[in-house]
Amino acid sequence: MLFALDRIKYRYTMAKRLAIPVRGLGSQVDTPPVTDLAAWAQARAGIGGDLVTYHLMKTLEAQKEVHTPAAGGLFYHERARAASLPDAPADDVLDDIQAVSGIRKNCWWSLPSAAALFSDPDEDQILFFRQFLRMMRDAGVFGHVILLENDPASLELELISGRRIFWHLMNPTERGLEKVLEVQRDIAVAPSALPLLGDLMGSYTVRKIIVMDGGESDLRAAMELVDLDNIMAGGYAPAGDQLYWSRLIEGSFILR
């Protein structure tokens, strides 16, 4: 019996550990210590920036080892809303992009959807939001992660889609997943939603699966749905967890 256990242990030890790339989909933030904010402001004397810029830089710096990071998160709400109004000045957003580009060029940017910025947005408001996104990409942002706390509006999906737009359902429902899969082939889901996604793949084409906060067994479960090359680990960092990304990277592997 002991010999058999030793053989199992040997096979486990000799298994090849395949790292799974990690994709960041944004970060949550809280109020920083006054001393940290003061030190940051002093270091940026003559450059400028505000609390939003601080959060953008700090949350992106934490993703240094992440394969595909994303600046921003739900906290970019007010900045995005102001910049999505007709004839809105773009100075603050352009300054943000410059600050982020100093850390990581051609970075993805995470922000709320138009429906989160404006109550029941009409077509004109969504088009202004789309114009704002295009302005950001023209200024050096590679693409946008659009965060959905509720099921997406059909009009938004119709007017805003493409290879540089990634819709992320933070609280996915079956109907929400169906609507997103109508416009994109890559999808991010929690491990608990993998069976539902598997059922939907009979009707929708899925290219890449991003498993949110998954372990080795969850990533292995995703291999039942797509090839290994089309699996990523995903994360949306909670506020105040300085080790979140390092733990996610360390735990994102499959033993072969």
pLDDT at 190 over 50: yes
Partner residues linked to 254 by β-bridges? 18
Type and span of the H or E element at 166: strand 165-169
The CATH number of the domain holding residue 223 is 3.20.20.210
Q: What is the pLDDT of residues 29-81, one digit of tens each?
A: 999 999 999 999 998 888 888 999 999 999 999 999 999 999 999 999 999 99
Residue 2 belongs to a domain: no
Q: What is the mean pLDDT of the chain?
A: 93
Residue 41 belongs to a domain: yes
Residue 16 belongs to a domain: no
211-238 as b/e: b if 16+ CB within 10 A: bbbbeeebbbbbeeeeeeebbbbbbbbe
pLDDT at 122 over 80: yes
Phi, psi of 243 (to 5 degrees): -105, 5
State the pLDDT at residue 47. 87
pLDDT at 110 over 90: yes
> What is the domain count for the chain?
1
Residues spanned by the domain of 136: 22-255
Residue 53 belongs to a domain: yes
Helix (H, G, I), strand (E, B) or coil at 196: helix
Residue 1 belongs to a domain: no
**Rounded to 5°, angle at Cα 207 from 205 and 226:** 100
Residue 89 belongs to a domain: yes
| 8 Å CB contact between 193 and 212 | no
Residue 11 belongs to a domain: no
Q: What is the pLDDT of residues 142-172, one digit of tens each?
A: 999 999 999 999 999 999 999 999 999 999 9
Closest to 63 measured CA to CA, from 93, 101, 23: 23
State the pLDDT at residue 48. 80
State the pLDDT at residue 31. 93
pLDDT at 5 over 60: no
User: Between residues 44 and 223, which one has the greater pLDDT?
Assistant: 223
Lowest mean pLDDT of 21-35, 40-54, 204-218, name the range: 40-54
pLDDT at 8 over 50: no
Rounded Cα–Cα distance for residues 167 and 184 (Å): 8
Q: Which residue has the tokens 């700090």?
A: 58
Q: Is residue 200 very low, low, confident or very high in pLDDT (cuts 50, 70, 90)?
A: very high
Residue 17 belongs to a domain: no
Instruction: Return the sign of the alpha-carbon dihedral for residues 110, 230, 237, 105.
Output: negative
pLDDT at 137 over 90: yes
pLDDT at 214 over 80: yes
State the pLDDT at residue 12. 47
User: Between residues 88 and 48, which one has the greater pLDDT?
Assistant: 88
pLDDT at 248 over 60: yes
